[in-house]
A and B are shown apart, each in its own frame.
Chain A
Amino acid sequence: MNEWLVAAAAMLVLLAPCGYVAMRGSPEDRLLGLELGSVITAMALLLLAEGFDRSIYFDLALVYCALSFTGTLAIVRFLERWV
Chain B
Amino acid sequence: MQLLSCLGVILMPNLMDRLHFLTAATSLGPAFIAGAIVTQEALNHQGIFAVLIAVFLLCFGPVLTHATARAVRIRRHGDWRGQPDEKVHRT
The size of the chain A interface, using a CB distance under 8 A, is: 39
Residues of A bordering B, CB below 8 Å? 7, 10-11, 14, 17-18, 20-21, 26, 28-29, 31-33, 35-36, 39-40, 42-43, 46-47, 49-50, 55, 58-59, 61-62, 65-66, 69, 72-73, 76-77, 79-80, 83
Contact A46 B5 (CB under 8 A): no
Contact A28 B68 (CB under 8 A): yes
User: Secondary structure at chain A's binding surface: helix, strand, loop or mixed?
Assistant: helix
CB within 8 Å for A14 and B71 given contacts A35-B64, A42-B53: no
Given contacts A36-B6, A40-B2, A73-B63, 19 further A-B contacts (CB under 8 A): A7-B33, A21-B10, A26-B15, A28-B68, A28-B71, A28-B75, A35-B26, A39-B29, A42-B53, A43-B33, A46-B50, A47-B33, A58-B45, A58-B49, A61-B53, A73-B64, A73-B67, A77-B71, A80-B67
